[in-house]
Structure 1
Amino acid sequence: MRLHVGCAMWTHKAWQGRLLAHPLPAEERLRHYAGWCDAVEGNTTFYATPARDTVASWARQTDTDFRFVVKLPKVVTHERRLTDVAEPMRAFLDAIEPLGPRAHALWVQLPGSFGPDDVPTLARFLRRLPATHRSAVEVRHPDFFTDPRAVRLLEGVLTEAHAEWIPFDTTAFFATAPTSDAERDAWTKKPRMPLRAVALTDRPIVRYLGRDDPARTVEGWQRWLDITAGWLREGRSPTVFVHTPDNTDAPTLARRFHDEVRARVPDLAPLPEPIPVEPTTLF
């Protein structure tokens, strides 16, 4: 039984010198982040497939139970829409191979235009993925949240492929008007999706967007505490990613979420202790 928590990135200017030591060479930043959280979203891989040596550095900085949810390149999901993608997928899978067991799931984030009529394409794509990798799909077409037939169709394909459906919960964020520049920017960019809280596999993945006010973020995740605790009691091992518009306090919030779930499930193992920002002294 394990709950992993993490953020959308492992380095952020607002964390430097406050949560993470500063300055840090590039090959040490992930290791220090991994003292706070034991999972991370691999968003950068959406824009370009990383060099294999770069990925090997990520592996060296993390334990084998650290989780990367690595997003497939946009050329696969958005430009070619899962069709004729054998070559970029081979390159991507070769690049992330050094992660080994740390590669928790291949994150198939699909554009909002990818709707129910495209599900057969998704089914063919998932069938061709190597069995050595789990996959998790994030959809944004509104029919997948409002049309019961579309929901059943997608769930059937994902279940057959042993793939998870990643919900991106933005309901707390959009509940009230934005109050900061970062929130106003996110207001125009983040998807407004209805809440979904159904796990299809033993390793559910949740993305949660709160507010820049930590108290509002905590208030908005209350439902996820009970859902996550319930999954753990069922023997599942969920991964929860905590976002805020500015992400200034995201690592501390992720740890707080873990602590609050652990209060409900006392057998849950604690997170690692963060690496001190400054060396400890005797005096």
Structure 2
Amino acid sequence: MIRYGMAQWQHPAWVNWLYPASLPSAARIGRYSQVFSTVEVGSTFYTKVDDAQLLRWYESVMDGFRFSFKAPQAVTHRLTERPWREVQRDWSVFMESLKALQAKLGPTMLQFPAVYDERALDTMLALCDMWTLSTPLSVEVRHLVYFDKSETETSFLSALSSRGVNRVVMDSRPVFSTEAYCESLMDAQKKKPRVPCHPIATANHPVVRFIGHPDLPRNEPWLNQWAAKLSQWLSEGLTPSVFVHSSDNIAAPTLAAKLDEKVCLLTSNYQSALVLPQSQEQVSLW
């Protein structure tokens, strides 16, 4: 199957669409999990989330749902400036906090910043080697040396593959395909990495982060490419997680549904589990 999700489970523009306005904010994750099968959780990157809160989220979602938590920035973004024993400690504490959630865990993300080049690779891999959970692990890198299609990228991919670790494939091509003519595009182009898109699976649960353009029809060429790649991965027995963003995330669910429609057309015996509530406003965007 393909697990589709967003970078968040609630958005003001999704009220009276993905969930009714009468639904309490705390209950929206449950409604979200009835539509999508995964979510990218960035809050664990920025702060320590209490174990009790993690458990509440866990108990709120459907049994087949999967969380993809981001590792704390103290681990991934201060990797070389802190004592290694402190990084190890924080990584171990984070893994321990996820143990009770393993039945509903998708690929946990180690997201490394663009300042870490090939000199940090051994340390990044050492974190991968510490992974003790039975659930998938994924790695996102942003330094351009890891996209050189030569020795460094080959070594990186080989190292992930030998460990059964998934590469996160970032596709920000759509959001950089035009000049930033609105505030959301300006913000997205400042924050999202502009890296080449190399759709290579290194393990059984490849992770895709697709950053869509707010002019929805403009996304068609890239959605077509991803539909073909996802169909290929399905034929190989892989289980991709696809996290769909847009510059303001308002239409991200619509983009996910459009992508899944394209996968359905290309893949025999594929039954979509993604059905959005009807909304004339969203439909008319295409």
Q: Quick check: 2:95–2:132 contact (8 Å CA) kept in 1?
A: no
Q: CA deviation at 1:176?
A: 1.8
Q: CA deviation at 1:188?
A: 1.6
Separation in 2 of the partners of 1:223 and 1:273?
22
Separation in 2 of the partners of 1:89 and 1:179?
40
Separation in 1 of the partners of 2:73 and 2:16?
33
The Cα RMSD (Å) is 1.9
Q: Where do residues 31-46 of structure 1 align in structure 2 (5 Å cutoff)?
A: 31-46=30-45
Separation in 1 of the partners of 2:13 and 2:134?
37
Q: Quick check: 1:37–1:254 contact (8 Å CA) kept in 2?
A: no
> Structure 1 residues 242-251 or 175-184, which shifts more?
175-184
Aligned amino acid, residue 204 of structure 1: P
Q: Where do residues 69-80 of structure 1 align in structure 2 (5 Å cutoff)?
A: 69-80=68-79
Separation in 2 of the partners of 1:39 and 1:22?
22
Q: CA deviation at 1:272?
A: 5.5
Match 1:156 to one of 155, 158, 179: 158
Deviations 1:171-225 (A, max 9, x none): 1221221222101111122111011111111211101111111212334321111
Separation in 2 of the partners of 1:5 and 1:117?
34
Q: 1:195 to 1:274 in 2, by over 3 A?
A: closer
Alignment of 1:63 onto 2:62:
yes
Separation in 1 of the partners of 2:38 and 2:133?
22
Q: Quick check: 1:209–1:244 contact (8 Å CA) kept in 2?
A: yes
Match of 2:234 in 1: 232
Q: 1:155 to 1:169 in 2, by over 3 A?
A: same
TM-score between both structures, scaled by the size of structure 1: 0.91
TM-score between both structures, scaled by the size of structure 2: 0.90
Match 1:89 to one of 82, 88, 91: 91
3-state DSSP of counterpart to 1:132: coil
Alignment of 1:255 onto 2:262:
no
Q: Quick check: 2:257–2:274 contact (8 Å CA) kept in 1?
A: no
Deviations 1:250-283 (A, max 9, x none): 1222122222212221422321555799xxxxxx
Match 2:167 to one of 142, 165, 168: 165
Separation in 2 of the partners of 1:170 and 1:43?
18
Aligned amino acid, residue 36 of structure 2: C
Deviations 1:218-244 (A, max 9, x none): 343211110000110111111111110
Aligned amino acid, residue 38 of structure 2: A
3-state DSSP of counterpart to 1:35: helix
Q: Where do residues 103-252 of structure 1 align in structure 2 (5 Å cutoff)?
A: 103-146=105-148, 148-252=150-254
Alignment of 1:10 onto 2:12:
no
Q: Quick check: 2:224–2:259 contact (8 Å CA) kept in 1?
A: no
Unaligned regions of 5+ residues in structure 2, if any? 280-286
Q: 1:246 to 1:264 in 2, by over 3 A?
A: same
Q: CA deviation at 1:147?
A: 5.2
Separation in 1 of the partners of 2:135 and 2:192?
28
Separation in 2 of the partners of 1:112 and 1:234?
31
Match of 1:52 in 2: 51
Deviations 1:68-105 (A, max 9, x none): 11100001111234933232223322322332222112
Q: Quick check: 2:146–2:153 contact (8 Å CA) kept in 1?
A: yes
3-state DSSP of counterpart to 1:104: coil
Q: Structure 1 segments of 4 or more deviating over 6 A?
A: none
Q: 1:12 to 1:145 in 2, by over 3 A?
A: same
Q: 1:214 to 1:272 in 2, by over 3 A?
A: closer
3-state DSSP of counterpart to 1:176: coil
Separation in 1 of the partners of 2:71 and 2:88?
13
Separation in 2 of the partners of 1:146 and 1:273?
38
Separation in 2 of the partners of 1:20 and 1:266?
32
3-state DSSP of counterpart to 2:265: helix
Q: Quick check: 1:225–1:260 contact (8 Å CA) kept in 2?
A: yes
